[in-house]
Chains A and B, each alone.
Chain A
């Protein structure tokens, strides 16, 4: 099956590029690590005030889900840069004159994005573990967390991929990424319990698609397999994915045809 093997080769190429630029990987993890190690320290006394955090949960345990999502979000929003780079350098054209399966060019990119975010998440979770935050749902829960994050990452990669192909400008991709990240994170329960936030933020966060993914991961981390939280989150991610990956597909067709 050429689609599968071509996707694999495109995937491996991006992975090789990632591994050979370890500094980039390190820097992209720098921010979540600082949040995990330092930011959680600032708010560690939050657990002394009853009723803010769930009973018996440290701020570190609480915040890990938000930090995982923050990382996945930032990572996904830079995905389009690689496509811009391949277009600019002519590498995409070089692929297009070969017999390579066209969808594989996109699928290889998306799967490598998903893989990358899972690796980053594993590192963050391992560090959180060292610092004292555990996943109560165990190995199965960890796998579900990885699945949710990978799925989330794919859905949001779509925005930057579509924009990258539309604008052909990595500056634009960077700018949009920076523009979206903080408003969406601050207007979600990423770093604070929803009950702790002002009413208007609570209301807005209900319409914020990333709130659902954060709640799902947090539930898997500190509560258990609560499917009434997890399934809606997957539903929202799927909705986002349809929109963003649909746009990506339309732009990709224009680039390829």
Chain B
């Protein structure tokens, strides 16, 4: 009963035959901070569009606060706030006017709206620029204004589609702080999508990792990392092609090593319990057979390792290849 979002076997096939969302099921509980982590084009925005009544699903069940997304769209719109991936403020209007307009669209008016606008301008620290045209705002200011307009009618459920993509680290940290406050202090349920591991790790209490329209794994960040189970050691060889088979064989024979995967970036990814101790052993073993190393990196499991384990790729590779603008066309 406390599921505010319930999705079962959701499928979305675009008219060109692309299966953007492929039979996904998940639930989000009231008050939870839930995230979709995945690369561009994984189906994150499509899922949000279905849940926010912008896009009709092909099949499956999707409810928000118990309301069916197709049949009870009006009810859903009353209780959700949405920040889309593209920043959408009207540059010809001032920040305050943007918020007032959004409030009117949400059927608010009078003193109540004015007070709410002032409150939000304070929250996102835009009071000083409130009466300047939004056209002149920086990217971070526009994002903050956009976030404020999603909050205008005090929605209990917030959908944030990549709220920090393209922002500098400082602005990102500021937005994170707002979001944590909204979740903790105001009890808002937040559904967030991101392609940033750090963001998912830091903010989300529970998350689903999504790739090519499918949920590949889900749980709390800690659970997911435990699933990988081991520390990872990334071993880069000077002549990867020639030496990797030999190196792999050597490393696999060591005690504690659970898995060695080949990767394009670092040549070999070694997974092991207590990996720290193994670093020196690996260096010594490879050196003794004249395999030259260029670097060895040790890390505790990250969400990227979880992603790698399930998909064979790192999230970052995708991020660099596809520009965010490639998503803009995929509206419908």
Contact = CB atoms under 8 A, between A and B. Distances in A.
B76 to A, nearest CB: 9
Nearest to A18: B92
Contacts of A6: 104-105
Contacts of B331: 93
Interface stretch (B78-86, B121-129, B175-183): B78-86
B97 interface: yes
B106 A98 contact: yes
B138 interface: no
B143 to A, nearest CB: 13
Interface residues of B, number: 27
A99 B105 contact: yes
Contact of B93 (A16, A90, A97, A257): A16
- The residue among A20, A99, A257 with the most chain B CB atoms within 10 A of its own CB is A99
Contacts of A99: 74, 77-78, 105-107
A9 B101 contact: yes
A181 to B, nearest CB: 27
A95 interface: yes
B52 to A, nearest CB: 5
Contacts of A13: 90, 93, 101
Given A13-B93, A90-B88, A2 B107 contact: yes
A6 B97 CA distance: 15
A185 to B, nearest CB: 31
Given A5-B104, A9-B104, A90-B84, A97 B53 contact: yes
Contacts of A90: 84, 86-88
Interface in B144-165: 149
- The residue among A2, A95, A96 with the most chain B CB atoms within 10 A of its own CB is A96
Interface of A: 2, 5-6, 9, 13, 16-17, 20-21, 89-91, 93-100, 257
Across chains A and B, which 6 residue pairs bring their CB atoms closest together, nearest first? A98-B105, A90-B86, A90-B88, A100-B105, A9-B104, A17-B92
Interface of B: 52-54, 56, 74, 77-78, 80, 82, 84, 86-88, 90, 92-93, 97, 101-102, 104-107, 109, 133, 149, 331
